[in-house]
Amino acid sequence: MVKEECKALLDALNKVTACYRHMVLTIGGTSDSQNLREELKKTRQKAQELAVANRNKLTTVLKDKTVSKEDKAEFERLWVIFSTCLEILEIDMRRALELGHEFPLNVPKKHLIQTGMSGGTSGVAARAMSVQNMKYEAEHNIDVVDLKDLENEINQVGEMMYEMEMKVNVPQWTVEAKQDPGAELKSTISVGASSIGMISVEENKSFCDISKVLAGIIFAAVLIIAIVLAVCVVKLS
């Protein structure tokens, strides 16, 4: 019961971390904007709340002496996953800070890198916050204002990790993964995989065939028209 709760919390944290990483990728590119910065801020705060909740739950369980051996092993595994997740979050936050400093948005001569992205990240943010649509209500210069908060939050996360290390004594090397290599292939998101697979296949073909494909389409269209005309002529005569 407690295990399921812990797992659910951890999954949520995992999801938010993945979305955060996704959004930090786009800082400095052409789809960067004030909205992105606000999304980053909200996601980050949500991630922190989840992290604190996770930590509290896991520490109470790990400190509990009445837990059985297998359960304890399971909780240690969850703990290791949690601490790795937090590490990744901290690294991403630091990078976000640095990139935020390098690419301020309100300067007259903006120099965002033209990375080829044109869409926004609102979908990702909505997924992270578990809402349907994102509402943007921040001020105009959130990119600069937010950096100070970001610094403080990085420090907080750092302190939390340090405390965690000190309080709970879980040696990482004793934890064994449950999944074998290649486990992710077994229960993949089939729709997602096939569509993204198709994109890469498309990519490979497209560069060579683009003109050929156009020519083929035109030829096919002409052929179809010719056949249709012939059929009409035959029918009418």
Partner 1 sequence: MERMIVSMQDPDMGIKMRNQRLLITVIPHAMTGNDIVEWLIQKYGISEEESLHLGNLIVKHGYIYPLKDPRSLVLRADESPYRFQTPYFWTSTKWPATELDYAIYLAKKNIRKQGDLVEHEKDNYNLLHKRINHTWDFVVMQAREQLRAAKQRRKGDRIVIDCQEQAYWLVNRPPPGALNVLEQGPERRNCHTTQVQLTQNMDYYKREIEYCRKAMARTRVKSSICLEGYIKFSEQYMPHDPIMSGCLPSNPWITDDTTYWAMNAPTVPTPTKLRVERWGFNFRELLTDPLGRAQFLDSLKKEFSAENLSFWEACEELRYGEQSRIPEIVDSIYQQFLAPGATRWVNIDSNTMGRTLEGIKTPHRYVMDDAQMHIYMLMKKDSYPRFLKSELYKNLLAEAVIPPETKKRVFPFMRKQRHSSPSPALFLSAGDAEERSRGPMAAPVPEEES
Which of 34, 156 has the CB closer to partner 1? 156
Residues in 97-156 at the binding interface with partner 1, rule: CB under 8 A:
97-99, 101-103, 111-119, 121, 123-124, 126-128, 151-152, 154-155
Is 128 in contact with 15 (CB distance < 8 Å)?
Answer: yes
Residue of 9, 17, 57, 146 that binds partner 1 (CB under 8 A)? 17
Q: Is 232 in the site for partner 1 (CB under 8 A)?
A: no
Q: In terms of Cα–Cα distance, which of 181, 92, 153 is closest to 128? A: 92
Q: How far apart are CB 168 and partner 1 at their closest, in Å?
A: 15
Site mask for partner 1 (CB under 8 A), range 153-192, x = bound:
-xx----------------xxxxxxxx-xxxxx--xx--x
- Exactly one of 8, 52, 213, 218 binds partner 1 (CB under 8 A); which one? 213
Q: How far is CA 99 from the centre of its chain?
A: 18
Residue number, 1 or 199, with CB nearest to partner 1? 199
**Applying CB under 8 A, which of residues 53, 80, 144, 168 lies at the interface with partner 1?**
80
Q: Is 72 an interacting residue with respect to partner 1 (CB under 8 A)? A: no
**Count of residues near partner 1 by CB under 8 A:** 79
Stretch touching partner 1 by CB under 8 A, among 20-28, 33-41, 64-72, 220-228: 20-28
CB of 114 to partner 1, least distance (A): 4
User: Counting contacts by CB under 8 A, is residue 35 touching partner 1?
Assistant: no
The residue range among 29-37, 64-72, 132-140, 223-231 that interacts with partner 1, by the rule CB under 8 A, is 29-37
- The sign one gets for the Cα dihedral 63, 64, 65, 71 is negative
Please state the closest distance from residue 198 (CB atom) to partner 1, in A.
10
Q: Which is nearer to partner 1, 26 or 48 (CB)?
A: 26
